[in-house]
Amino acid sequence: MNSNYENGKKLFQETDGAGIQAVIHALSDVSPHISRYIIEFFGQVFNNPVLTYQQREMIVISALTSLGDTPNQLKWHMNFGLKVGITPNEIIEIATHCIPFCGAPRALNAITVAKQLFAEQNIEVNIEDELLHSVGERRERGIAKLQEIDGKHGEAVADSLAEIAPVLAEQIIEFAFGEIYSRSGLNPKQRQLVTLGALTAQGGCEPQLHVHLNASIRVGLTRQEVIEALLQCYPYTGFPKVLNAINVAKKIFLT
């Protein structure tokens, strides 16, 4: 076997030996080659220290949440995320963060998957509605957060909607930034990694990726980390969506 396979086996032995054995067993009679692909992929990408195990699984959970039709795989990765250090509260926050990018129904489906996983493992999660008593400050908070995260790119998006869809512009400011981005459950770098995973999985979001790739650099992610985040998505979203995302990054970073 090649080194990626051996690295993948070692990773699973250290973190989730029983989980990967269940996957291998389920595929052994009809497609043993796919279990090898899975192990090789983990051995390749997780061996790259540019992103931590936790960061990689945050990206995967957001991508699968955004896809919306992979509950079994989402549950597996939520469980793997717990094993590599993501907290239950962070899993719920990842799903919450995806609402502006993939919609509430897919985020709710992801939270349902998480609730099932937590119930099976007797994990209690108590998340407060921390902004409940400051709803009246949404707009001011949103403008400040938009400036912090997106700078002039975010303002340009809001300004471009002012004449034709001012309500949408206000929702971007008040909800996406005044609520979602203002929650404390994830730090700015984590939120941008989650955003990149969600937008890449959606596909057809190249203008929004342009804004959020710039935002990722603005909050402190390196170019190498950003590219690695996009590459993390290809086994889950397919090559075309990741190629499109990489092309957006290429225009930003190489021009």
Cβ neighbors of 134 (< 8 A, separation 6 or more) are 141
pTM: 0.94
**Does the residue 65 lie in any domain?**
no
Condensed to tens digits (0 to 9), the pLDDT of residues 225-242 reads 999 999 999 999 999 999
Cα distance between residue 66 and residue 182, in whole Å: 20
Condensed to tens digits (0 to 9), the pLDDT of residues 186-218 reads 999 999 999 999 999 999 999 999 999 999 999
Among 10, 28, 47, the domain-final residue is 47
Cα distance between residue 248 and residue 254, in whole Å: 10
**Does the residue 168 lie in any domain?**
yes
Tokens (6 digits) for 243: 């190629």
**Does the residue 165 lie in any domain?**
yes
Cα distance between residue 129 and residue 183, in whole Å: 9
**Does the residue 24 lie in any domain?**
yes
DSSP-H helix ranges across the chain: 3-15, 17-27, 32-45, 53-67, 71-83, 88-97, 99-102, 104-120, 138-149, 152-160, 166-171, 188-202, 206-218, 223-231, 234-237, 239-253
**Does the residue 62 lie in any domain?**
no
Residue type, 245: A
Domain that holds residue 20: 1-47
Q: Is 122 left (phi over 0), alpha (psi -120 to 50) or beta?
A: left
**Per-residue confidence band for 25, with pLDDT thresholds at 50, 70 and 90:** confident
Condensed to tens digits (0 to 9), the pLDDT of residues 54-113 reads 999 999 999 999 999 999 999 999 999 999 999 999 999 999 999 999 999 999 999 999
**Shortest CA distance to 80 belongs to which of 16, 124, 18?**
16
Among 154, 183, 212, the domain-final residue is 183
**Does the residue 167 lie in any domain?**
yes
Total domains, the chain = 2
What pLDDT sits at residue 76? 93
**Does the residue 164 lie in any domain?**
yes
Evaluate whether 34 touches 27 at the Cβ level (below 8 Å).
yes
Percent of the chain surpassing pLDDT 90:
75
